[in-house]
Structure 1
Amino acid sequence: MTHNTPLSPRPLHDLTGGGRPRVTTTARLRSHGVSTAETNEQCRAGGPWQQLLPGVVLLHPGPPTSEERLHAVLMYAARERGTGVPAQPGGSRPHAPAYPEAMITGLAALTLHGFSSTPPLPSLDTIDVLVPRPRRLRSTGCARIVRTPVMPDPEHDTGVPVAPVARALADAVAELADAGTVRLLLTEAVRGGHCDPAAVVRELNQARLLSRPHVVDAVDSLLTEGRARAEDRLYRMVREYGLPDPVWNVDLRLPGGPYLGGLDAYWPDQAVAVELDTRAPRQDDDALWSEYARKREHLERLGITVVYITPRKLRDCPEQQATVLRTALMASADREPAAYVGVLPR
């Protein structure tokens, strides 16, 4: 073989064997001895290869699979343009391909997370890929660049790095103008157990999407549903862990005096109250927390113990929350009697 003998794709079996996606970068091809001229020749019209994105080559003539498109977008956006799906001993496929500073986000990520309300991958014209803000990249072909000042930790359950649900949801919503679609996505995120309402609202707020009326409407519906689910979990926790029955959803008022506030559960004999902390992290969060704190301080000055419980704690560790409540109820015997307050249904 002379130096003028053209290279063939055959030496590249380690890039395409073992069931790996048949897509790679021009830098990786060069590392296997394939010159830029040879790559261009192979990618000519009617040739055996195709250039999917700048610096990214599909090593077969037919249309790319969804998996190949995902890897192509990641290869295009990755910090190291030579990065591809690394070979493993024995030709096995890696669990977490290395794509520095790049991960799938938006609708494609939600589909990979198992959402049923998002389009299937083959029907998406573009795939969103999240990169750090300083990166000098442009959207092109099937790759849409989404920038962020702080990269979240990716999840690799699907075999490619994917943004967490709340972040992927915010990136998807940023491109959607239909109120029904936004509401559907937000609802599935919570009902499907993918993430808490607070996490969703936090990401939407950081993305400055809460100024859009159709997003605000969807968030209000989401928070209402999230509170209803948290109330159901609170009822179930009291029942399943044998706590005494409280009075539910009441307002407290001093006799002939001011309104003290509403509570989700109250044990009058022990002067112990529960309030679900379903605050969403919006722009006025500090003011809302100050209101919570003032209410708690006022009630505790009257001898009433207030226990705040978040929906996440009710979901993830109900036994621990039941123990906290039981301890507060038992400790009431050692406290000074609370002031008399009126208890009214809400």
Structure 2
Amino acid sequence: MRRGEWGEDPEMLIRIANRGIIADATLRRNGVSGSAIHQRCRPGGPWERVLPGIIHLRNGRLSNRQRSVAALMYGGDTAILTGRAALREYGFESAAHDAHILLPADQRIQSKGFVLVERTHRMPEQVSRQGLRCAPLVRAVLDAARRCTTLDATRALIAEVVQRRAVTVPELSEELEVGSGRGSAFPRTVLREVAANVHSVPEAHARKLWLRSGLPEMVFNRDVVDAHGNFVARPDGWIDEVAMAWEVDSLAWHLSPADYKRTLERRTRMQGLGIIVLATAPSALRDSPDRVVAELVRHFELARSRPRPNVRVVIPGE
């Protein structure tokens, strides 16, 4: 196409763009002059320059995927998505709008606008997700976790991918050991919790209070069976020495009659077999930790004072 003829086929630019995102250099190769680009990207114009050298062929808010496309164009052929931007492409929800990319350590491209550039000596093999270059999931998870600003945010992130069995704790631990030490304190703490079979932020708080209590070993999210090996329940916490269950009740079940019914049935089964059950609201873990610890101790003493029922926890691998 000769210079100046692109205007006769404006849809041609949309076709060669990637989700409406196109590089300045690509426009010039297709006959769009520098002055035409400048005019169309002026305030109020039909196009928008979203990053240096990167044009949006519309004038409006970018979607998260368009940000990721623009970030990869900005970073060049060696750039790959990581962190929460990559997690979105793996099907995990993320409210973050930044597009986090990895580049080889010798590249000198800087973070700009919504693009977070991380240079690394450990460029991973790229994985194609929805046509976008991404880091492997285990790397993306830990790159996101290292930038979490709170322990609870790190817990929520790692617990979700582990619960969905998208990655394993050993895989995450191995990647954490060989990766950057920057920002690794929260992920290390969470991986220890997840290795103890803690599945959620409230359960992590519960484990912390149990450690404070001085009570015997508590395991988390383990199946409990009766004398015949029949399944009874999977309580959040379990002290096998005295057959005591700890349930951290989410308020969400109040909104679902079916979930509420299952909660009551599970608790009835346990209590019918003589299991002592302590139910705690997640808010109490945060707002009244001393009271929760006192209730734990009191229920333990109650459980210890009666004959232990003939139930047991299932050991992994049985």
- Tell me: CA distance 1:56–1:224, structure 2 relative to 1, closer, same or farther (3 Å): same
Counterpart of 1:68 in structure 2 is 66
Counterpart of 2:27 in structure 1 is 29
The alignment status of 1:185 with 2:151, answered yes or no, reads: no
Counterpart of 2:109 in structure 1 is 137
Counterpart of 1:107 in structure 2 is 84
The alignment status of 1:38 with 2:36, answered yes or no, reads: yes
CA RMSD of aligned residues (A): 3.2
Deviation per CA, 1:9-62: give whole Å up to 9, x if none: 444533413995111001101110112222111111111111010000011122
The separation in 1 between residues aligned to 2:182 and 2:25, in whole angstroms, is: 42
Deviation per CA, 1:44-92: give whole Å up to 9, x if none: 11111110100000111222233322211110001xxxxxxxxxxxxxx
Note the residue ranges of structure 2 that are not aligned, 5 or more in a row: 199-218, 224-315
* Identity among equivalent pairs (%): 27
Q: Which amino acid aligns with 1:31?
A: R
CA contact (8 A) 1:7 1:38 kept: no
Counterpart of 1:221 in structure 2 is 193
Q: Aligned-pair distance for 1:213?
A: 4.0
CA contact (8 A) 1:204 1:210 kept: no
Counterpart of 1:208 in structure 2 is 180
* Counterpart secondary structure, 1:225: coil
- Tell me: CA distance 1:65–1:214, structure 2 relative to 1, closer, same or farther (3 Å): closer
Mapping of 1:269-280 within 5 angstroms?
Answer: none
* Counterpart secondary structure, 1:29: helix
Q: Aligned-pair distance for 1:212?
A: 4.8
- Tell me: CA distance 1:214–1:151, structure 2 relative to 1, closer, same or farther (3 Å): closer
Counterpart of 2:227 in structure 1 is none
The separation in 2 between residues aligned to 1:134 and 1:31, in whole angstroms, is: 28
Q: Aligned-pair distance for 1:111?
A: 2.0
Counterpart of 2:50 in structure 1 is 52
1:154 aligned residue (104, 126, 129): 126
Q: Aligned-pair distance for 1:224?
A: 2.0
Q: Which amino acid aligns with 1:29?
A: L
Count of paired positions: 206
- Tell me: CA distance 1:210–1:224, structure 2 relative to 1, closer, same or farther (3 Å): farther
The separation in 2 between residues aligned to 1:46 and 1:168, in whole angstroms, is: 37
The separation in 2 between residues aligned to 1:63 and 1:9, in whole angstroms, is: 24
Deviation per CA, 1:178-237: give whole Å up to 9, x if none: 1011112112222111112122112222333488543322110122229x99x99xxxxx
Counterpart of 1:318 in structure 2 is none
Q: Which amino acid aligns with 1:77?
A: G
Deviation per CA, 1:85-138: give whole Å up to 9, x if none: xxxxxxxxxxxxxxx21111111211221224x32xxxx331101111111100
Mapping of 1:1-346 within 5 angstroms?
Answer: 9-11=7-9, 13-17=11-15, 20-78=18-76, 100-116=77-93, 118-119=94-95, 124-209=96-181, 212-225=184-197
Note the residue ranges of structure 1 that are not aligned, 5 or more in a row: 79-99, 233-310, 315-346
CA contact (8 A) 2:146 2:184 kept: no
- Tell me: CA distance 1:213–1:22, structure 2 relative to 1, closer, same or farther (3 Å): closer
What's the TM-score once normalised by structure 1's chain length?
Answer: 0.53
The separation in 1 between residues aligned to 2:184 and 2:117, in whole angstroms, is: 22
CA contact (8 A) 2:146 2:187 kept: no
CA contact (8 A) 1:56 1:76 kept: yes
* Counterpart secondary structure, 1:131: strand
CA contact (8 A) 1:49 1:61 kept: yes
The separation in 2 between residues aligned to 1:223 and 1:211, in whole angstroms, is: 20
The separation in 1 between residues aligned to 2:154 and 2:7, in whole angstroms, is: 46
